Amino acid sequence: MDKQDIPFLTAARLSDLVRAGEVSPVEAVEAYLDRIDDQDFRYNAYLTVCRDRAMAEARQAQEEIARGNYLGPMHGVPVAVKDQLWTKGVRSTGGCRFLADSVPDEDATIVANLGRAGAILLGKTNMTELAITGYAHQYSTPHNPWDLDMYTGGSSSGSAAATGAFLCATSLGEDTGGSIRWPSSWCGLSGLRPTWGRVSRYGVMSGSWSMDTFGPMSRSAEDAAMTLTAIAGRDPKDPYTWSTPVPDYRAELTGEVSGIRVGLVTELSHGPVVDEQVSAAVVEAASVLGGMGADVEEVSLPLTVHSQVITTTHIGVESALDHAKRLRSQPGAYGHAVRIGLTTGSLVPAQAYYKAQKLRSMIRRQVLEALDRYDVLALATIAIPAVPIRDDGPITGKEQVLGSLPLLTPSFNLASCPAVSVPCGFTDRNMPIGLQIAGRPGEDGTVLNVAHAYQQGTGWHTMRPAAV
């Protein structure tokens, strides 16, 4: 195989070729590093490229595989991780200036898990400041591979750009209120927010302790399943992680959905807040699942339209508590948008946070009651297609703090459910549209299998940006 073609393989296909000895980990890493050198100036996907570490890990992986010590599907696969994660000996900025020279002395648990699985760290990806804002970047703004004038979505913006531009085989992002699913939708990726507690958060720079979780941003549901298997599991350093065994999510992808009950969420698939092109694509995607044997019905979840304000309240209060000391002593350390957001969060009355908690429990109950009747829920990921990159202007009103972006993701972080965004079509400007599939807590495999089945019957996830 021509080395220049390697970056355009799915992670699953590259894994198979590495195991068969047809592609070496060294060849794969060299191909990706060459592509990063040649192309990343267009995308601003990486904040740090771990060139020496990646080559050393590639040589080690190659030697291990040659000796018959094959560690599994991620062995020799080059990955990128959001700069919100600690990486031993590699700067970890969290997207903020005051951590520009921060170098942890240990890896986050999921970075260590990737290493134990044999994955190779290519570098640390760009992100919005502290992952608590959707747009504000302190270093550079990533560009959408489908149109360089358009935004990727945030906060896992760099992971979306890197994966969508074929600058890594698969990547990790972090999702509090939609920061994996939103950029995955706008960049044509398959991005999974796992069940809260399925993946360790030790070594993660926190945004909202009650909702943060890391997950894969990949080019297919199969790649996402393979990545999740490597990073999931119980961690004694994170008391909130599940103790249940981690299945081989990739091996569980049957592609069979006959008899699966799908609830198409009326308010969040073709309601008045959803763009007509997005709505048409999502309704058609549900029809495709129906044609594959799934039982598709509409379901109303009226409280879900309030999820974004409730999520924003949680993020504001919880992040303000984490940053209270520095915010008082060094307010200028933060960018304008984050400084205003943290200040606002610190001023939210206790009774308002308490009310948000009660509303969260009501939404969770409504979502879980629907999931008693349906195996998965289907809806749009975000109500509008990608928007142009814009400068961060001054915040002048409460609606900018509470969040006016029409994300349709927050219901599932409030309910601690797994949810994936997969491509389901394109706008008339050739920008990707995302279908969101959510399931019961702990049933990440079901969500991934429905996504995989949909991708077996469609080709949206195989489409490649013309300029890439």
| Per-domain boundaries in the chain | 3-231, 261-462
What's the pLDDT at 402? 44
DSSP string, 78-141: EEEEETTB-BTTB---TT-GGGTT---SS--HHHHHHHHTT-EEEEEE--SGGG-SSS--SS--
HSE-CB for 119 with a 13 A CA cutoff: 29
Do 3-231 and 261-462 have matching folds?
yes
* Calpha distance 417→439 (Å, rounded): 6
Choosing from 82, 124, 206, 421, which is the catalytic residue?
Answer: 82
Pairing of strands 261-265, 213-218: unpaired
Q: Which two tokens stand for residue 261?
A: 């009950």
* Calpha distance 279→379 (Å, rounded): 9
Is 155 catalytic? The answer is yes
* Calpha distance 231→46 (Å, rounded): 21
Type of residue found at 76: G
Element (H, E) at 227: helix 221-231
Segments of the chain scoring below 50 in pLDDT: 400-403
**Residue 140 CB burial class (10 angstroms; 0-12, 13-18, ≥19):** middle
Choosing from 15, 24, 171, 179, which is the catalytic residue?
Answer: 179
CB contact at 8 A, 333 and 98 = yes
Indicate the CATH number for domain 261-462.
Answer: 3.90.1300.10
Please state the three-class secondary structure of 425-448 as a single string: EECCCCCEEEEEEEECCCCHHHHH
Between the alpha carbon of residue 52 and those of residues 47, 58, 89, 119, the distances in Å are: 15, 10, 12, 15
What's the pLDDT at 401? 45
What's the pLDDT at 451? 98
Choosing from 15, 24, 92, 155, which is the catalytic residue?
Answer: 155
Which one, of 108, 109, 158, lies nearest residue 131 by Cα? Answer: 158
Which one, of 191, 176, 28, 203, lies nearest residue 105 by Cα? Answer: 203
Between the alpha carbon of residue 320 and those of residues 334, 335, 425, 456, the distances in Å are: 12, 14, 38, 44
* Calpha distance 87→204 (Å, rounded): 10
CB contact at 8 A, 157 and 145 = no
* Calpha distance 261→250 (Å, rounded): 22
What's the pLDDT at 468? 87
Is 82 catalytic? The answer is yes
CB contact at 8 A, 155 and 179 = yes
Domain 3-231 has CATH 3.90.1300.10: yes
What's the pLDDT at 132? 94
- Residues written for the chain: 468
Chain position carrying tokens 């979505």 = 153
* Calpha distance 169→35 (Å, rounded): 12
This prediction has a pTM of 0.97
* Calpha distance 29→100 (Å, rounded): 26
HSE-CB for 69 with a 13 A CA cutoff: 9
* Calpha distance 25→122 (Å, rounded): 12
Pairing of strands 120-125, 78-82: parallel
What's the pLDDT at 139? 96
Signed CA dihedral, 271, 275, 280, 281: sign only: negative
* Calpha distance 115→123 (Å, rounded): 13
Other CB atoms within a 10 A radius of the CB of residue 272 amount to 8
CB contact at 8 A, 167 and 196 = no
